[in-house]
Amino acid sequence: MFNVQDIRKDFPILSRKVNGKPLVYFDNAATSQTPQQVIDTIVDYYSNYNANIHRGVHTLSQEATDLYEQARQNIQAHFNAKFSHEIILTSGTTHSINLVANGFSSLLKKGDDIIVSALEHHSNIVPWQMLCERTGAHLKVIPMNEDGELIMEAYDKLLSKNTKLVFVNHISNALGTINPIETIIEKAHAVGAAVLIDGAQACPHVKPDVQKLDVDFYVASAHKMCGPTGVGMLYGKASWLNKLPPYQGGGEMIAEVTFEKTTYASLPHKFEAGTPNIAGGIAFGAAIKYMNTIGFEAIAAYENELLHYATEKLLQIEGLKIYGTSESKTSVISFNLNNIHPYDVGTILDKLGIAVRTGHHCAQPIMDFYKIPGTVRASFAFYNTKKEIDALVEGVKKAKMMLS
Ligand code: 7TS
């Protein structure tokens, strides 16, 4: 049974105070909080197993390697990848996207099209722009509507036999829109294009099945799903990962090195040069286990309840406008108050112990679309409560009074 008060006991940080007030943490889309079970994994690793992996004959190294590879298998099972070597452990979503974009340098040419969406985080825009500069490929954009949804008829028109790659986020970080990725993938495949889905914002809320989606690449960060920072993953179909060249050269990614020629290791090691974030990878596996113990259906149902409760309460405040009004959205509310700058609202909320993000959320094209400098963004996780939302609503009312 889902019991939020019991769940909150797992997160030590939730009992701290900020500016003398109980912390209300509503910046989950930037990073989630870490349960004791995951913190314990990191402490346990450094207390008992710390060693470099894949290279030692000694016991510690073998134990660390086993734990790291077990984490990879937990991640594989969670995303339902066919093989564990289709899971590449990276430093996060940004690293994963850059790895794929770099790999496509040798596969694209002038005259090829690649398609992005208007709803992307900068890390799913800039690496592709850089790829276009290197290859002469052309970047096309699926536009959005006022509700913050992708205009699918426009996507149909952008697709052609020249389309080689499509990359879209599963859920928008700035607005919370859940994109119709099943349709996006199917239509891209119909013209022979590969698809990368940026799941950074989806993985805290849903459990993607990469085989069912038939997606070519799916990327995520551990720190948004109760894991540590500095670790994430790239799922890629083995056929694609075998085709892409390595991203970085170094130790552990080679089969044989001479000064004349180097041959590369097989998957996943070909993409994992150097000593990785070992404790982080193990803790990523533990975070996935933790979230599955709570259950993604229960998480989604509860967060949906929080979203509707907060939306209704916030909309009662005169002059408050919510950006991102799709029926299909997750527990993110981006809003502004009349002409008040979001930064000022965020600063007052912080004085009240309430953590929100303000600004453009690394999604400037979305802000340009609405012709605003930014928004206040409150993003809820399964450990938040309606009482905390009441505190946010009171805080926003106070900010409005002080700033108008
Ligand atoms: N893609 C999306 C959709 C994101 O929301 C983020 C981070 C990234 C990629 C990059 O992830 P990283 O782990 O490599 O940094 N989003 C946010 C955010 O909304 N507020 O802070 C970081």
Q: What is the pLDDT of residues 228-269, one digit of tens each?
A: 999 999 999 999 999 999 999 998 898 999 999 999 999 999
- Interatomic CA distance for residues 61 and 379, integer angstroms: 40
- Whether 33 maps to a domain, the answer reads no
Domain endpoint, select from 293, 324, 350: 293
From 89, 93, 196, the mutation candidate for ligand 1 (largest count of ligand atoms within 8 A of CB) is: 93
- CB of residue 93 inside a 6 A radius of ligand 1: yes
- Cα 236 to middle of ligand 1, angstroms: 20
> Quick one: 268 and 374 in the same domain?
no
CB 33 near ligand 1, within 6 Å: no
Instruction: Note whether 206 and 342 are same-domain residues.
Output: no
Domain boundary among 244, 278, 293: 293
Distance of CA 249 to the CA centre of its chain: 26
Look at residue 1 and tell me whether its pLDDT is greater than 90.
no
Distance CA 56, CA 385 (A): 47
* Total tally of structural domains belonging to the chain: 2
**Does any domain span residue 330?**
yes
Q: Same domain for 177 and 66?
A: yes
Q: Give the pLDDT score at 366.
A: 98
Is 322 inside a domain boundary?
Answer: yes
Nearest residue CA, atom 5 of ligand 1? 173
**Largest interatomic CA distance in the chain:** 71
Instruction: Answer whether residue 55 shows pLDDT above 90.
Output: no
Question: Quick one: pLDDT band at residue 181, thresholds 50, 70, 90?
Answer: very high
Residues 4, 201, 225, CA angle at the centre, nearest 5°? 50
Last residue of a domain, one of 270, 293, 316: 293
CATH of the domain at 99: 3.40.640.10
What mean pLDDT, rounded, does the chain reach?
Answer: 97
Same domain flag for 279 and 303: no
Residue whose CA is closest, atom 18 of ligand 1?
30
Does residue 221 have its Cβ closer than 6 Å to ligand 1? yes
Tell me, using a 6 A CB cutoff, whether residue 198 lines ligand 1.
Answer: yes
Kindly list the distances between the CA atom of residue 21 and the CA atoms of 217, 262, 385, in Å, as whole numbers in the listed order.
43, 58, 16
- For residue 200, the CA-to-ligand 1 centroid distance in Å is 6
Q: Quick one: pLDDT at residue 398?
A: 98
CATH number at residue 383: 3.90.1150.10
Residue 68 is predicted with a pLDDT of 98
126 with 188, same domain: the answer is yes
From 32, 361, 362, 380, the mutation candidate for ligand 1 (largest count of ligand atoms within 8 A of CB) is 362
Whether residue 374 sits in one domain with residue 285 = no
User: Is 75 a residue whose pLDDT tops 90?
Assistant: yes
Could you list the active site residues?
362
Q: How far is the CA of 126 from the centre of ligand 1 (A)?
A: 13
Distance 248 CA to ligand 1 centre (A): 22
Report the distance separating Cα 155 and Cα 257, nearest Å: 45
25, 97, 121: residue to mutate for ligand 1 pocket, most atoms within 8 A of CB: 121
In a domain, 34, yes or no: no
Same domain for 397 and 261, yes or no, is no
Span from the CA of 55 to the centroid of ligand 1 (angstroms): 33
Atom of ligand 1 nearest to the CA of 94: 14
Task: Please check whether residues 358 and 270 belong to one and the same domain.
Answer: no
Dihedrals φ, ψ of 185, to 5°? Answer: -65, -45
- Domain membership of residue 187 (yes or no) is yes
* Confidence grade of residue 56 (pLDDT, cut at 50, 70, 90): confident
Q: Which domain holds residue 399?
A: 4-28+295-403
pLDDT above 90: residue 16? yes
Asked if pLDDT for residue 210 goes beyond 90, the answer is yes
**In the predicted structure, residue 9 carries a pLDDT above the cut 90:** yes
3-state SS, one letter per residue, for the chain: CCCHHHHHCCCHHHHCEECCEECEECECCCCCCCCHHHHHHHHHHHHHHCCCCCCCCCHHHHHHHHHHHHHHHHHHHHHCCCCHHHEEEECCHHHHHHHHHHHHHHCCCCCCEEEEECCCCHHHCHHHHHHHHHHCCEEEEECECCCCCECHHHHHHHCCCCEEEEEEECECCCCCEECCHHHHHHHHHHCCCEEEEECCCCCCCCCCCHHHHCCCEEEEEHHHCCCCCCCEEEEECHHHHHHCCCCCCCCCCEEEECCCCEEECCCCHHHCCCCCCHHHHHHHHHHHHHHHHHCHHHHHHHHHHHHHHHHHHHHCCCCEEEECCCCCECCEEEEEECCCCHHHHHHHHHHCCEECEEECCCCHHHHHHHCCCCEEEEECCCCCCHHHHHHHHHHHHHHHHHHC
Distance CA 177, CA 191 (A): 25
Residue 345 has pLDDT above 90, yes or no: yes
